[in-house]
Amino acid sequence: MTTLIGAMTVAAAGTLAPLAAQADQFVNILTGGTSGVYYPLGVALGKIYAEKIPGVRTQVQSTKASVENLNLLQSGRGEIALALGDSVKSAWEGDAEVGFPKKLDKLRGVAAVYPNVIQIVASQSSGIKTFADLKGKSLSVGAPKSGTEVNARRIFETMGMSYKDLGKTEYLPFGESVELIKNRQLDATLQSAGLGVASIRDLATSIPITMVAVPADVASKLGAPFVATTIPANTYNGQTADVPTLAVVNFLVTHSGVSDETVYQMTKQLFENLDTMVAAHKAASAIKLETAINGMPLPLHPGAERFYKEKGLIK
């Protein structure tokens, strides 16, 4: 009898174990600095997943963005992350110069989301009007080896310049860069983010600014995933004309250790709750199901692939 009860207890424990594991499913969402676009979108994703995926607990982690996020995913210290397309490509290839000494072979794709727009903003008092005018001036290029800083380095190289041409190079997050410009301790900042990013909105309402153009031919020289784009007039206070620049698509990325069902649900709930994402930041209005797998620089996770097959994006 005792043996039978013991066997029943073991069987019951075996039956309950998957339920307990499901109830404890933890999703850590890796974002960026709190004054950028990744963070509010990550918060929105956390809310969606916690409410719509049964048994899931979420956490939103502020990070140094793309490069750190991808390395954290590789080591299993996050379940989903936002990252710039060129950083994702470099991670999959193992580009040591960018911050990936080895190929990050556990990374898997979830979705293409919205384009990051290269936005160079200077105080009018700095006298900077063109990219060439940055020579001898002080510029913040983003946190070291962040996606923004990698973008900055590549653009400078394509323009035949380097950080050595600057009077001073700062490696600061968006919010800190803006505060230094306000205090006349910095001339300009390069920010790779969605249009309408809070940091530049804040700066433009505080002091007169100049948006600095990046020539369209830089995009063709850099190639994919870079494309030429425009910052529309009146995106920021005092910006009265369209400004030519570059864009690079952001991706949601996960890793091979996350279950197929979890990634399926994360992908599904993203596209079924886009209104919540747009409410968090207008950059999310560019997230479209029909472009979700365009330009994906690494293999799709099987869970995401299942969702896209259901929707007819993959045959």
Domain edge (last residue) among 231, 248, 265:
248
Q: Are 86 and 148 in contact (CB under 8 A)?
A: no
Residue 39 belongs to a domain: yes
> Does the residue 315 lie in any domain?
no
Q: What pLDDT does 21 receive?
A: 42
pLDDT category, 15, cuts 50, 70, 90?
A: very low
What is the arithmetic mean of pLDDT over 154-182?
96
More confident residue, 8 or 280: 280
Residue 176 has pLDDT above 90, yes or no: yes
Same domain, 39 and 85: yes
**Domain interval for residue 178:** 116-248
Residues 121 and 56 in one domain: no
Cβ-contact 120, 190 below 8 angstroms? yes
pTM of structure: 0.78
Q: Stretch 224-248: mean pLDDT, rounded? A: 94
The average confidence (pLDDT) of the chain is 91
For range 249-259, the mean pLDDT:
97
Report DSSP letters for 7-75, one per residue.
HHHHHHHHHHHHHHHHHTEEEEEE---TTSSHHHHHHHHHHHHHHHSTTEEEEEE--S-HHHHHHHHHT
Rounded Cα–Cα distance for residues 80 and 108 (Å): 10
Please give the pLDDT value at position 50: 97
Tens-place pLDDT, residues 52-99: 999 999 999 999 999 999 999 999 999 999 999 999 999 999 999 889
Last residue of a domain, one of 248, 279, 296: 248
Count how many domains the chain has: 2
Residues 135 and 95 both lie in one domain: no
Check whether residue 175 and residue 80 sit in a common domain: no
Say if residue 171 is in the same domain as residue 226.
yes
Same domain assignment for residues 302 and 179: no
**Whether residue 8 sits in one domain with residue 55:** yes
Domain match, 201 and 264 both: no
Query: Which of 3-17, 104-118, 291-305 has the weakest average pLDDT?
Result: 3-17
Say yes or no: 226 and 292 in one domain.
Answer: no
Residue 260 shares a structural domain with residue 229: no
- Please check whether residue 164 lies inside any domain of the structure: yes
Mean pLDDT of all residues in 157-165: 96
The alpha-helical segments, DSSP class H, found in the chain are 2-23, 38-52, 66-74, 85-93, 147-158, 174-182, 198-206, 217-222, 260-272, 274-280, 302-310
Categorise residue 181: left if φ over 0, alpha if ψ from -120 to 50, beta otherwise.
Answer: alpha
Does 256 score more than 90 pLDDT? yes
> 120 and 242: one domain?
yes
Q: What mean pLDDT comes out for the span 178-206?
A: 95
- 78 and 91 share one domain: yes
Percent of the chain with pLDDT over 70: 93
pLDDT of residue 278: 97
Report the CATH number at residue 221. 3.40.190.10
- Of the pLDDT bands very low, low, confident and very high (cuts 50, 70, 90), residue 224 is confident
